[in-house]
Amino acid sequence: MAHSGKYFIETYGCQMNEHDSEKMCELLERLGLQVDASPEQADVVVINTCAIREKAEHKVYSSLGTLRNMKRDKPEMIVVVAGCVAQQQKAKLLTKFHHLDLVLGAHHISELPELIEHIGKTRERISRVEFCNDVSSLHMLAPARGSSPVCSYVTVMQGCSNFCAYCVVPFTRGKEQSRDSLEIIEEVSELAGRGIKEITLLGQNVNAYGKDLENGRRFSQLLEKLSLVQGIERIRFTTSHPKDFDSSLAEAIAGLEKVCEHVHLPLQSGSDKVLEAMGRGYKFSDYLDKIQLLRIRAPECAITADMIVGFPGESDDDFEATVKALHRVRFDQIFSFKFSPRPGTLAEHMTDQVPEEIKKARLAKVHEIQDEITQTYHRQLEGSVVEALIEGHGRLQGQFFGRTRTNKIVNFSDDGHHAVGDIVKVTILRGLKHSLLGEIV
Ligand code: SAH
Ligand code: SF4
Ligand code: F3S
């Protein structure tokens, strides 16, 4: 054990990145390091980065700037950049940032301990970014120590082969690859043994699970199998792709008790012209057909989405189609973004880039429409009783927080008879803008 000391880890980006950070924490702890709340005293500092939009990418450069000064006072500090910016920029980062020791792509997380030890001994500066496309290394890493005592992420597949015109993920995470279902079941059983009640299955395109496996289980069959794991009470999954959404998933949500009534199904745009330019593989009417299917089979199911405004060539009419789509679908919640040109993607150099002011105005409009819809849903819940899993203590003294099966955050007071990990019935007293307020029945 070459290192006994402190580590600090900073995470940007999606749930997959959060989970990768959890895995890295576990690996660093196996090496004898202990987590620290700030980088100043740390022997190893990891920045786990996201490249999805320009703004996300810039955060790594400002973090690295701060670390440069810290390392002047503490030259033995090992600085690691992991995640999607690492994968995209590769060894260029080492040339640009002389205080950086290791560039670590997502396919090399399991090597982190050896690399840290090696760098500690030799001070060699290393870049590990080749795609190795071997999902079995995920099994070695599992189960990672999560940040919640009762909820845990489980990676079921890595990468994405869709190459949507705007997106860096296929370049930063490699091709779509599903893990063996037996390994996943084993991992989930282990988590259940450690008191985990809720799992969230992760994949960039999670409902395409199994399509790349020969004779492998498909996603709804995986859900069926995981439903049999004793101790697991709730199963969530993200992100689903509309083109791979079929009736078997609607049936699984309707028929499997443990599978929660929530689908995150990014629409991106309401305009068929824009959807086509994005390469999404569906028209708005196809999307409507699919959610219709879902709403018939599982009327309780919440639907959330991601939307992009200002994709190159998006006219006023195209944007109007997005506005109409929001009113038509009435999503429970959406995450909306201004299009950001990303290096290496098809959309980067498309003509007809939309001016920043127009993107800004369109995003504001989308926020306004959706806030109203979300709040209406929340208000409609007032007086009803929902099921919540207690995930932790709220910010206020004597308060718990949890999530409904439909993935809405609910805060409620501790009645003195329950603990984190319990599933309780909660009466909703107030529907707020971003959450619900309730009391235990
Ligand atoms: N795999 C998921 C989401 C991946 S990234 C899916 O296919 O939906 C999360 C969200 O970021 C995307 O849904 C998209 O809305 C947004 N996004 C991705 N690239 C972007 C870009 N270049 N500019 C703006 N938003 C982007
Ligand atoms: Fe990106 Fe499209 Fe893959 Fe989602 S499906 S990760 S948006 S390329
Ligand atoms: Fe960002 Fe990479 Fe996730 S680009 S959104 S961290 S897959």
Helices (H) and strands (E) in the chain, counts: 14, 19
Please, what are the domains in the chain?
6-128 (3.40.50.12160), 136-380 (3.80.30.20), 385-440 (2.40.50.140)
From atom 1 of ligand 2, which residue's Cα is the shortest distance away?
Answer: 167
Using pLDDT thresholds of 50, 70 and 90, give the confidence band for residue 141.
confident
Q: Say how many Å lie between the CA of residue 52 and the centre of ligand 1.
A: 7
- With residue 7 as reference, give the H or E element that holds it: strand 5-11
Q: Residue 243: CB within 6 Å of ligand 1?
A: no
Kindly report, residue by residue over 14-32, the tens digit of the pLDDT. Answer: 999 999 999 999 999 999 9
Lookup: tokens for 355: 């001016």
Beta strands in 188-295 (DSSP E): 198-202, 234-238, 262-264
Angle subtended at Cα 388 by Cα 382 and Cα 393, rounded to the nearest 5 degrees: 105
Give the model's confidence band at 394: pLDDT under 50 very low, under 70 low, under 90 confident, else very high. confident
Protein residue closest via CA to atom 9 of ligand 1: 306
Choose among 87, 111, 91: nearest CA to 31: 111
Looking at residues 276-281, what average pLDDT do you find? Answer: 98
Give the residue whose CA is nearest to atom 4 of ligand 2: 204
Chain centroid to Cα 97, Å, comes to 28
Q: Kindly state if the Cβ of 89 falls inside 6 Å of ligand 1.
A: no
What pLDDT was estimated at residue 1? Answer: 44
pLDDT in tens, 73-100: 999 999 999 999 999 999 999 999 999 9
CB atoms within 10 A of CB 6: 19
| Tokens 């960039």, residue located | 204
Give the Å distance between the CA of 163 and the centre of ligand 2.
6
Give the number of the ligand closest to the Cα of residue 204: 1
**Is the beta carbon of 264 within 6 A of some atom in ligand 1?**
no
State in Å: Cα 121 to ligand 2 middle: 40
The alpha carbon torsion through 219, 291, 162, 249 (nearest 10 deg) reads 0
Pocket test for ligand 2, best of 167, 206, 278, 306 (most atoms within 8 A of CB): 167
Which two tokens mark 149? 């005592």
pLDDT tens, residue by residue, 163-222:
999 999 999 999 999 999 999 999 999 999 999 999 999 999 999 999 999 887 899 999
pTM greater than 0.95: yes
Q: Where are the beta strands (DSSP E) in 124-240?
A: 126-128, 151-155, 157-158, 177-178, 198-202, 234-238
% of the chain with per-residue pLDDT over 90: 93
User: How far is CA 50 from each of CA 16, 96, 200, 251, 274, rounded to the nearest angstrom?
Assistant: 10, 18, 20, 34, 25
Task: Check residue 142 and give its pLDDT.
Answer: 67
Q: How far is the CA of 98 from the centre of ligand 1 (A)?
A: 32
Q: Please check whether residue 400 is in contact with residue 412, taking contact to mean a CB–CB distance below 8 angstroms.
A: yes
For strands 399-404 and 385-393, give the pairing: antiparallel
Q: What is the pLDDT of residue 137?
A: 76
Q: Residue 193: in which H helix or E strand, if any? A: helix 181-193
Give the mean model confidence (pLDDT) for residues 351-380: 98
pLDDT tens string 239-269: 999 999 999 999 999 999 999 999 999 999 9
